[in-house]
Amino acid sequence: MEPARPPFSLERALAGVIAVLVFVSLAVQTTINLEQDGSPLAAFGLLLRYFTIWSNLTAGLMLGWVALGGRAPGRAVFALATALSVVALVYHALLSPDHHPVGLDWWTNLAFHTLVPAATIAWWIAFYRADAFLWKSLTIVTPAPIAYTVFALIYGASSGFYPYFFLDQPALGWSQLAINIVGLALFFVAMGAALLGVRRLVSARA
């Protein structure tokens, strides 16, 4: 059980900074997309095709709640940190070689794939006790990517647009898609385990 939060703290202040970064970046990206997507609602809705946006929006909402005096369960923050670590690693390792944003797109891309993930993970490490996270906590990291995968496949089947090449069922076939989904789930678990290891190492050296 997490200890009670003080009325004002560095934890809340930094959570607020990260939340503001998320919502400003989302607003800017929505504005950038208005020309091709027609309306603010449509532009924002189309952003939600991406797991990156799901994760960043969750970070904004969760950390914004903390900044306003709420409490975020440790397991939920751990799952968020894991999701954002996957977002950052997959983007920089697999997607960035073919993605070259410019102007404001470059800044929002930096926020979504680098700044928000790094800041949220650091915030989790700094303000949540290591002994609150056991290895059985790894079960919490898979529901979000599973839910997103179901959404992406349904959306792709209805629209023909698959946000990520490793979920492109028509191009991959069901067998390869199944292998990719299992691999993705295992990757989330591995990243969660790595974060737990880092969290415990930092705690031991503190």
pLDDT of 181 > 60? The answer is yes
pLDDT of residue 133: 60
DSSP label at residue 102: -
pLDDT of 35 > 80? The answer is no
Residue 2 forms part of a structural domain: no
Residue 114 forms part of a structural domain: yes
Residue 117 forms part of a structural domain: yes
CA distances, 25 to each of 62, 103, 109, 111 (Å): 16, 13, 9, 7
Residue 7's pLDDT band, with cuts at 50, 70 and 90, is low
pLDDT, tens digit (0-9, with 9 covering 90-100), for 70-104: 989 888 999 999 999 999 999 999 888 888 888 89
Residue 5 forms part of a structural domain: no
CA distances, 181 to each of 9, 139, 152, 184 (Å): 40, 16, 12, 5
pLDDT of 130 > 80? The answer is no
Give the mean pLDDT of 25-46.
85
Residue 1 forms part of a structural domain: no
CA–CA distance, 128 with 72 (Å, rounded to integer): 10
Residue 106's pLDDT band, with cuts at 50, 70 and 90, is very high
Domain interval for residue 31: 10-205
Number of domains in the chain: 1
Sign of CA dihedral 12, 14, 17, 19: negative
115's tokens = 């700044």
pLDDT, tens digit (0-9, with 9 covering 90-100), for 139-167: 899 999 999 999 999 999 999 999 999 99
pLDDT of 180 > 70? The answer is yes
Residue 193 forms part of a structural domain: yes
Alpha-carbon torsion angle 151, 167, 59, 42, nearest 10 = -60
- % of the chain surpassing 90 pLDDT: 67
pLDDT of residue 68: 94
Of 71, 55, 49, residue with least CA distance to 120 = 55
Residue 3 forms part of a structural domain: no
**What is this structure's pTM?**
0.90
- Comparing 39-53, 73-87, 115-129, 147-161, the range with the smallest average pLDDT is 39-53
Residue 4 forms part of a structural domain: no
pLDDT of residue 33: 84
